[in-house]
A and B are shown apart, each in its own frame.
Chain A
Amino acid sequence: MDLIVHALGALSPLNLALALLGVTAGIVIGALPGLSATMAVAVLVPVTFGMAPESALIMLGAIYTGAIYGGSYSAILVNTPGTPSAIATTFDGYPMARRGDGDLAVTLSTIASVVGGLVGVLALLLLAPLLAQVALSFGPVEYFWLAIFGLTLISALSEDSTLKGFMGAGFGLLLSTVGVAVIGGDIRYTYGSPVLLGGIETVSALIGLYCIPVLIDLVATPAAHLKVDGVSRGVRFREGMAIAIKGKLNLLRSATIGTGVAILPGAGGSIASLVSYSEARRVADEPASFGKGNPQGVLATEAANNATVGGGFIPTLVLGIPGTPPDAVILGALLVQGFRTGPELFTTNAGITYTFVAGLFLATCLLLPLGLLIGRYAFKSIISIPKALLVPTIAFMTVIGTYAIRNSASDVVIMLCLGVLGWVLNRYGFRPSPIVLGLILGPIAEQGFVQGFLMGRASGSLFATFFGGPISLTIIALSLLSVFYPMVKARREARRQDKTINGEASP
């Protein structure tokens, strides 16, 4: 009943206008490579301080929801994830755009984001206290194994070779160790350069590894960036809905995975979208079509990463442990508005909690019309801009986006060097995703590993520390399954094909 009262309060014309503004600003900032959801929220938080509490909360939720979704535009249209959680969207979104289905991919991402967002918000509303307890059972060792699980998934998804995926992930992990160590404070692999002391910034590496290879290949040929059909086909909403209905199980499964992974602080959208992508591929009738423009791949990743919005707020609101960096910024803003985390979430604090949840709900619903509208405009802009303008515009966005993260021109040089290296490695069959994931998950993995190492050494049993807990063992089993299952499946299929060929040849 309280929820309905607060939801109705959230529907005032002013709040509706603020939600519209927040979602639009979030989408635009999230779509620009280099401007992450964290930055969108952090930059716009001070704007909300002067507002009435409910308006401020609604706008914050709207900005965050819009920014997470906006990351998919650049992932689909220019192969550059606007936010790390959109990495897996590039796998099928960009191939779809290249073959002329960019409009459909954007529509699918919008539908999936709405479904995922709604599932996440429902979980926040109904299961928050219960799910938050799960987050507490994860210690440093479990986090280490979770990071390894994320890396094994991405390595196993490397179509060319799992071993190449492992080498790439290892390279990314080694890159993450550059600079001052998370534990111990050692200065590593800087070779006396003060520029490398702060380490390699994840988002600038992401921009370099994904965007620069696209630019390098764009200028090499006169061919158009994306294939375009002569006739305008609108947003292809009906077609998108038909695909979404066909993949309803995929959508729901991915949204549930997204919510589940998001409750673990630090894991975030990148692991959530990878796990759901990997699951969607595993259960699909034609797993080989994933990575080549399968619409179900876009549905899986986008449903999962938008579900992390609601899911991430579960540990943030119940335990006061932010699930993701934007959650931390929003938690700060909520505290300014008089919110207190803890068991009083749905009792003493019910007013603020319900208004915030209603705001998230409203923003997620607004994603559908706004996303389709802005998405259509973004798609039309990308296909109609001549190459001579598209290349410098993307280059400009990569440079300004990278510079803006730490106000550092050295980051731009590092971004460019990593981009050229990424292009070379891509040529030799090493995809950028394992490297980027290694870089993102490196600090989580190292912190867990070193803390586990210390705990194991203190207790006198390293083996039991790393391989003793039931959660650790489950994650290890899942990691092994993700590495070996595709191999076993491929071998079985090859054997079956051999048998069929021999059977046909023998008579």
Chain B
Amino acid sequence: MSAVHNRSTGRNTSAARKEKHAIQASCSRASEYLVPTLFVVGAGLCLWETREMSQLGAVFPAVISLVVIVAGLLRLGQLGLRGVVASQERGSDPSSDPSSDSGSGSTPRRLALVGIMLAWALALPWLGFLLTGLASFVGLMMVAQYRRWHPRRLAGHLLTGAVLVAFFYALFALVLNVPLPAGRWFTL
């Protein structure tokens, strides 16, 4: 009876020890394995591409690709040996980690921000800096606003936005002589 008890206690202790040394996942347990695998595959592709380069051009990316592959495989081995526990509740102390709110919050707003900025960058040579700048400023203002819009608040924000865009445009285009795109729109 006591032998059985000792064996089960031993098993519990080793499980507890394994749990203690287990790696805490940054996001999900699966992603902890997936991301190093992607790094290994990506570096493998980079290594494969070095075949078409000259020896001088290939030596550095080949060595670095190998280092990434080794680091990725070591990480996978580490995860396999020590195990992974699911991520604990994040964001309890925002000061401890600048990225602590990554993941929580509104995904549509995140996507809207990226979408507006991408459209801005792509339209820049066509519509010019001033027009795209103003339009994107207003778009991002809408995305970042959580409180209800009142006519006064909206007018104030729009005015401030226009002044800020004009200030930066003047600083870069006039003072620093950066040739900002005027847009092909106007030259058609």
Interface of A is mostly: helix
Complex Cα–Cα for A176 and B172 (A): 28
Which residue, of B121, B161, B172, has the highest number of chain A Cβ atoms within 10 A? B121
Which A residues touch B42, using CB under 8 A?
Answer: 171
A313 within 8 A of B: no
Complex Cα–Cα for A43 and B63 (A): 39
B92 within 8 A of A: no
Per the 8 Å Cβ criterion, residues 202-248 of A in contact with B are: 212-223, 227
Interface of B is mostly: helix
Within the complex, which residue of A220, A223, A428 is in contact with B110, where a contact is CB–CB below 8 Å?
A220
B139 — nearest CB in chain A belongs to which residue? A392
CB-CB nearest 4 A-B residue pairs: A220-B105, A186-B57, A429-B26, A99-B95
Having A213-B102, A453-B59, A454-B56, one finds 17 other A-B pairs with CB under 8 Å, namely A79-B98, A99-B95, A174-B61, A174-B64, A188-B57, A217-B101, A219-B113, A221-B101, A387-B146, A388-B145, A392-B138, A395-B137, A395-B140, A396-B136, A409-B122, A412-B124, A416-B114
* Proximity string of chain B (59-78) to chain A, C-beta cutoff 8 Å, 1 when within and 0 when not: 11101110110011011001
Q: Are A400's CB and B168's CB within 8 A?
A: yes
Which residue, of B42, B53, B68, B140, has the highest number of chain A Cβ atoms within 10 A? B140
Q: List 18 A-B contacts (CB under 8 A).
A: A174-B43, A177-B61, A177-B64, A186-B56, A188-B49, A188-B61, A219-B144, A221-B104, A221-B106, A389-B141, A395-B137, A400-B133, A409-B121, A416-B114, A426-B102, A427-B99, A449-B63, A450-B60
Which B residues touch A391, using CB under 8 A?
Answer: 113, 140-141, 143-144
With A391-B113, A391-B141: A174-B26 Cβ-Cβ less than 8 Å:
no
Q: Are A387's CB and B121's CB within 8 A?
A: no
Q: Are A219's CB and B94's CB within 8 A?
A: no
With A430-B35, A446-B60: A220-B106 Cβ-Cβ less than 8 Å:
yes
Which A residues touch B110, using CB under 8 A?
Answer: 216-217, 219-220
Q: Are B96's CB and A95's CB within 8 A?
A: yes
Q: Are A392's CB and B95's CB within 8 A?
A: no
Q: Are A163's CB and B103's CB within 8 A?
A: no
Q: Are B140's CB and A167's CB within 8 A?
A: no
Complex Cα–Cα for A94 and B75 (A): 29
Q: Are A416's CB and B146's CB within 8 A?
A: no
Taking beta carbons and an 8 Å cutoff, which residues of B are in contact with A? 23, 26-27, 31-32, 35-36, 39, 42-43, 46, 49, 53-54, 56-61, 63-65, 67-68, 71-72, 74-75, 78, 94-99, 101-107, 109-110, 112-114, 117-118, 120-122, 124-125, 129, 133, 136-138, 140-147, 157, 160-161, 164-165, 168, 172, 176-181
- Nearest chain A CB to B85's CB is how many angstroms away? 14
A181 within 8 A of B: yes
Complex Cα–Cα for A427 and B124 (A): 30
* Proximity string of chain A (394-427) to chain B, C-beta cutoff 8 Å, 1 when within and 0 when not: 0111011001100101001100100010010111
A360 within 8 A of B: no
Taking beta carbons and an 8 Å cutoff, which residues of A are in contact with B? 43, 79, 90, 94-96, 98-99, 160-161, 163-164, 166-167, 170-171, 173-174, 177, 181, 183-186, 188-189, 212-223, 227, 292-293, 386-393, 395-397, 399-400, 403-404, 407, 409, 412-413, 416, 420, 423, 425-430, 445-446, 449-450, 453-454
Q: Are A407's CB and B179's CB within 8 A?
A: yes
Complex Cα–Cα for A170 and B70 (A): 11
Complex Cα–Cα for A196 and B105 (A): 34
Complex Cα–Cα for A170 and B74 (A): 14
Q: Are A216's CB and B113's CB within 8 A?
A: yes
Q: Are A189's CB and B26's CB within 8 A?
A: no
Q: Are A397's CB and B141's CB within 8 A?
A: no
With A98-B94, A217-B105: A170-B99 Cβ-Cβ less than 8 Å:
no
Q: Are A399's CB and B121's CB within 8 A?
A: yes
